[in-house]
Structure 1
Amino acid sequence: MRDLADLPKAHLHLHFTGSLRVSSLRDLSAAYGVRLPSALTDGVALRVPATERGWFRFQRLYDAARHCVRSEADMRRLVDEAAADDAAEGSGRLELQVDPTSYAPFVGGITPAVEIVLDEARAASARHGLEVAVVVATSRMKHPLDARTLARLAARYAGEGPGEVVGFGLSNDERRGDTGDFARAFAIARRAGLASVPHGGELLGPAHVREVVGALAPDRLGHGVRSIEDPALLGSLVESGVALEVCPASNVSLGVYEHDEDVPLRQLVDAGAQVALGADDPLLFGSRLLDQYETARTVHGFSDPELAELARSSIRASRATEGTKKRLLDGVDDWLTT
């Protein structure tokens, strides 16, 4: 079998703090005297039920890790290591998702927080031989006016290349907030040419996907796996070209599906969905991008040509320039002929 680390691919669903290496988190916690829950450092993938109590445990652990990122140097280290890890796994394009409000108190505000991430994304791109762009995300737990502020900030740095903002997202517990309240923020982002990339259709089912699609007009949907439960809905996503950022490890860790084989990856692809595999939060879920492709191969029975098509889907769904897409797609063809 061909080495999946040599397969060019794009990584479109990776959260900032969630990308931390366990070793780096240990370093940061020791430096700041922060005592971390063992669930963050034991190297065992998180497993919680798909309930509000399960989400609360996940969020509490994520917040504990985020509490260890307290300086510009910490933020730069995180971006650099995320880029290095992705490059080692064959990723030629990483679109890293960050909510700058979490780090703003340590660096003088949300604008410096975004600029630090963008500046290091440019440097890490050159250092590691891939393109690192940024998705600015707002949280369902925040007021919609905060989302508009972030959308305007994201719009100032809109672009396609390394170290530029390519999309605007909406994350956190799908059961919180009113999706429609965030429509104006997404309209601001779209007018600036940013991709609409909200989360939806993981913890909640098809009705929620319809709500997100109707209110936020996504170009890509974070997760979206529950659309499989409504063939008409899935058909409309396929027809309209909405890509699905499918994160199998996340689905199992958060109790959406009990086992790896229950994730409907094969069914989504067979229905014609444009699927981009993502790692979501490797720190908590214990697996990075390459592991998602290995799962597609070993659990879901994807052949090398089918794995190559998954990689192509991720590249096409990215916001990379046409030149970058062509280079990566040519690399996929080369991988298949090797």
Structure 2
Amino acid sequence: MTTGTATARDDAAAAGARAGEPEMLLRVAGKDAVAAGVVVLELAAPDGRALPDWAPGAHVELVLGNGLTRQYSLCGDPRLNTVWRLGVLREADSRGGSAYVHDALRVGDEVRVRGPRNNFVLAAAPRYVFVAGGIGITPILPMLADAQRRGADWRLCYGGRTRDSMAFLDELAGYGDRVSVFPQDVSGPLDLDAILDTAPADGALVYCCGPEGLLDAVTRRAASWPPDTLRVERFRNRTPAEPARDAPFEVVCEMSGVTLLVEPGQTIVDVAEEAGIGVMYSCAEGTCGTCETPVLDGPVDHRDAYLTGEQRAAGDRMMICVSRGAGPRLVLDL
């Protein structure tokens, strides 16, 4: 993330994901349209058993029948442990994942699920400002309920293209004037200057999820805020800048006793797999954290959307699916 932001992650939970959480075969217990282009899936174990615990901000990964894997936020109640609820937008530029969920997945079908994982943990605070754009409302929903139960002072500003494209409005209406809804065709774009003007001075934490344009705009405004005031989550990486060093680099795999040569255009994951070194990865875009690997020596060209600025500066970990060596040699705990 850029300076002044944090991914609000729970290191223990993330470490569990990297160690390889099991896949579950869950049944689609419900599928309902909740807005134009948005469906809610309800997933349950075929035998009705309790599902793993999760906390607001968590997501799971669906392994779809067309071979794709996609991450979706949990938007139900963590206290209801037999059903997981996911909101899925049919993306206009779908790469096959959301189209499969909308068109092919039926009630009664079974789907492989990994997780839950949480890179967007709701930290304890007396005040919150939540900013959601479109389907970015999904991880925010359980955060609102949690903040409400704890008696925190909070408000939500929720923007979307049109009112009928904005999911969960009936549910949000129960919170009264804590929630402000801004359909763009009526209200115009979210007025981020007005929404965020007093947030840092009030000591509020700001949680934001939505399209890249919204996340980038909020991140720019947060550049001068105290560290960790802004918490965002990205399910797609921004287009990385050109590599810091457009040249081959060596990767010394300390555990395996192997040295790899990574050429321009290759990833460490690709080269490690070709050499028979087992690596865990999932999104291949630098967003999920599954491939996080300890760095023992050497500078890193961080190209992910997962680590905080502070974590990048420490230089002791990297996402090997996208990040590269910033010098001629890296030593990794692989």
Question: What TM-score bracket applies, with the shorter chain setting the length?
Answer: 0.3 to 0.5
Higher relative contact order (CA 8 A, sep 6+): 1
Give the structure with the higher percent helix: 1
Q: Give the alignment's TM-score, normalised by structure 1.
A: 0.32
Give the structure with the higher percent strand: 2
